[in-house]
Structure 1
Amino acid sequence: MNTQTPELLEVKLTRHEEISPGVYVIGFRRRHDFSPGQAVKLGIDKKHPPRIYSICSGNQDDELCVLFNIKDDGFLTPRLAALTIGDTVYASPPYGTFLGTEEPAWWIATGTGIAPFRAMLRSGMGRSKILVHGVRRLNQFYFSNELAEGLGDNYHRCCSAERMDGVHPGRVTAFLEKRDDFSKDWKYYICGQAQMAVETRDLLIEKGIPFENIVTEIYF
């Protein structure tokens, strides 16, 4: 992600919801237009460095929302999790270059990397999209009902540690390795941890996808 620091503005939380153990959606009134896939920087004050979070709400929603999981060794996420509706946070205007389009594309995510793709879907970009979401535990398929309703058979879930009917066993890369229906003309968006993003990019290149058709957003 782009690490240049935009101006931080004081906002009041209008949403604070734990959607899975240790995983939260928080939101505040949307003040700016944004392109689906962009991010904001969030902080609890202006003294400590903010952190970057992809927007998970649609670009016409009244609230601007982000998704995060608590990092036990982190400074910010435990403090964000302890807030409540009406509390103050500091947020930048939306920014970034990981931008969804109306063009046919694969969306490939792990964990909370699903956030920008949910924003794209809620913004009307679900046509001609294939989504692959990989997680370790079944309770980590965030927004799964909404994604299934919007994408139907083009929504694929992969779980590496648990099993359930309708969910592909194993990692995202194992699922993709078995596929032979990749179009070289489509875009391929990857969002998640660095190792997954690099492995997925290399796999797609080996399958003949041009490098310039692969767009990556790495979560740290």
Structure 2
Amino acid sequence: MKKHKVTQVRHLTDYTFVIRFERNGMEFQTGQFVLLGTKGAVDRREYSIYSGEHDDFLEVLVREVDGGKVSSKLKRLNAGDFVDVDGPFGFFKFDPAKIATQKFLFVATGTGISPFHSFLKTHPELNYKMVHGVRKAEEAYDYEDFKRSKVTLCTSGEKQGDFYGRVTGFLSTQTFDEDTNCFLCGNSEMIYEVFDILTGKGIPVSNIYTEVYF
């Protein structure tokens, strides 16, 4: 575990924010996560890395949880404070050799968009489509970093997105090439339902990768 100096806390909504801290030489592959907590605190939580592999900093996207032991403390951080970071960990990643020739589908709910932001910051040439499910359109986190034509924003709480309803409702209307690499990141209910939708449309299980955000 290392101490990393915070250089910026950027608030995206009233309850969601991006923490940027010094990289301190940490190497990672896009899709991995770190264990993060305030300096000296016992409690830490897993957060997917939000920044790209080649950035000279590390970022994580955090949603404040009511009564959360970690997220509420992280929200109060300022530039110059320190965080404890351990990692990277995880296997929610792909073979970079596939990038030039294969298609990718990214499905996320809420802050589950984090690893896909890292994917695209690292590999902007990816042939991808992303489906992102949130309640309100204000949760379209840093969409300027994506090709907007490649992203479908599904809003379940208001009719301000590209599709009014859940990601499962949108995906049920779509067709996919069977060789598409599908990455799912979000709550477990979504992942189970999307898994069934994709396999029902001919995507082999071996082409589906999952990361559960509780």
Q: Give yes or no for TM over 0.5.
A: yes
Unpaired segments ≥5 residues, structure 2? none
Is residue 108–residue 190 contact of structure 1 (8 Å, CA) maintained in 2? yes
1:100-129 per-residue CA deviation (whole Å, 9 max, x = no partner) reads 442321011010000100001000244211
The equivalences for 1:1-220 within 5 A come to 8-30=1-23, 31-100=25-94, 101=96, 102=99, 103-147=102-146, 151-164=147-160, 167-180=162-175, 182-220=176-214
Between the two proteins, what is the percent identity of the paired residues? 37
Is residue 16–residue 63 contact of structure 2 (8 Å, CA) maintained in 1? yes
- Tell me how many residue pairs correspond in the alignment: 208
Is residue 111–residue 192 contact of structure 1 (8 Å, CA) maintained in 2? yes
1:46: how far off? 4.5
Which amino acid in the other structure matches residue 89 of structure 2? Y
1:48: how far off? 1.4
In structure 2, distance between residues paired with 1:87 and 1:137? 31
In structure 2, distance between residues paired with 1:200 and 1:133? 12
Of 19-28 and 44-53, the range deviating more from structure 2: 44-53
Alignment root-mean-square deviation, CA: 1.4
Q: Stretches of 4+ moved more than 6 A in 1? A: none
Is residue 120–residue 126 contact of structure 1 (8 Å, CA) maintained in 2? no
In structure 1, distance between residues paired with 2:124 and 2:92? 14
Unpaired segments ≥5 residues, structure 1? 1-7
In structure 2, distance between residues paired with 1:65 and 1:186? 28
SS at the partner of 1:204? Answer: helix
